[in-house]
Amino acid sequence: MSQAQATVSLPEPTVISRILRGLAGNRTGTIGFVLVVLILAAAIFAPWISQYDPAAIMTGPRMAPPSSDHWLGTDNLGRDLFSRVLAGGRVAMLVAGASLGAALSLGLVLGLVAGLGPRWLDNLLLLLFDALRSFPTIVFGLAVVTLVGPSLFTVILVVAITSVPIYARIIRTQAQSLRNAEFVMAERAMGAGLPRILFVHVLPNVLGPLLILASMDVPLVIATEAGLSFLGMGVRPPTSSWGVILNDGYNFIRNSPWPVIAGSVPIVLVTLGFTFLGEALRDIFDPRLQKAN
C-alpha cells in the first residue's frame, strides 16, 4: 500500500444548507425564521385561510369581540378582522417586495456607476443621493401623495425612491474598496474585461450585505405603508391594510380595543421576525464575526 493516504474531498456546503445550519445554532434567528415563514405563508394562502370576504360588510355584529365565528372580532362595519388582517398582510408583503426590489435594482446600477465611474459622475450621484435622503420619508410621501394621489402604486413609488440612496451608497463604498483590490488588479493585468470583474468579483461581494440590509428594512417599509394608510394617504378603502385597520380602530377605540390590537400585533410580529432573521444572516455571512466565534 502506498504511504500517501487518499484524501476524500467533501463537497462545499450550499448557501441554503449554510443558512439552515447557522439558524439552527441561533435561537433568535430560529424565532425570526419561523415568524417570517408564518407571515409569508399567511399572506400567500390568505384567500384559502380566511372564512369571509375582507371587504364584506355585516358578516357579524359590529365591534364584536373575538369568538369562534370571528377569531379577532369585527370592526365598526361588521367586517371580519381576521380576514382583513390576512388581506392586509398580502398588501404589506406586496409593497415590501415591489419597493425593495425596485430600490435594490436601481441602487445596484447607480452604486456601481458611482463606485467604478469617473470622479465627476460620482460627485453628481452623491449630490443626488444626499438630496433625496434630506427629506424625511413620511414628509416626502405626503408631498408625492398630494401630487399623484393616494394609491398602492404611490406607496411603492415613495418607498422605492427613498430607499435607492441607501443601497446605492453601500454598493458605491463596496465597489470603491474592491476597485483597487489586489485580486481585481491581477485580473486586469491578465486582460479581464469590466463585465468579468463585475459579475465574478464585485457583485458576489456586494449582494450578500445588500440582501441582509434589505431583509432588515422590510419592517421599516411596512411601517411606512401602514403610517401612510393610517393618515389616509396610502391604500384606499375598501382595500384592507394594517394602517387602515388601525385608523378604523382608533376612531372607535372607546367601543372596542380589538381592531387596534388586530392591526398593531402583525406589525410587531413582522418587525421582530425580519429583524431577528436579518441579524442572524449577518452573523452567518460576516467573516469577521465567524472568526470571532
Query: What is the domain-level CATH number for residue 93?
Result: 1.10.3720.10
Domain-located, residue 12? no
Domain-located, residue 162? yes
Task: State how far the Cα of 108 lies from the Cα of 209, in Å rounded to an integer.
Answer: 12
Q: For the chain, what is the domain count?
A: 1
**Other beta carbons within 10 Å of 270:** 24
1 exposure class (CB count in 10 Å sphere: 0-12, 13-18, 19+): exposed
Residue 3 confidence class, pLDDT cut points 50, 70, 90: very low
The residue-averaged pLDDT of 8-25 equals 64
Whether the predicted pLDDT of 292 surpasses 50: no
Domain-located, residue 236? yes
Q: What is the predicted pLDDT for the residue at 194?
A: 65
Q: Return the C-alpha torsion angle 113, 118, 123, 127, nearest 10.
A: -30
Whether the predicted pLDDT of 288 surpasses 60: no
Contacts of 75 (CB under 8 A, 6+ apart): 62, 63, 81, 84, 245, 248, 249, 252, 259
Domain-located, residue 23? yes
Domain span including residue 152? 17-292
Q: What is the predicted pLDDT for the residue at 130?
A: 87
Domain-located, residue 276? yes
Task: State how far the Cα of 293 lies from the Cα of 288, in Å rounded to an integer.
Answer: 9
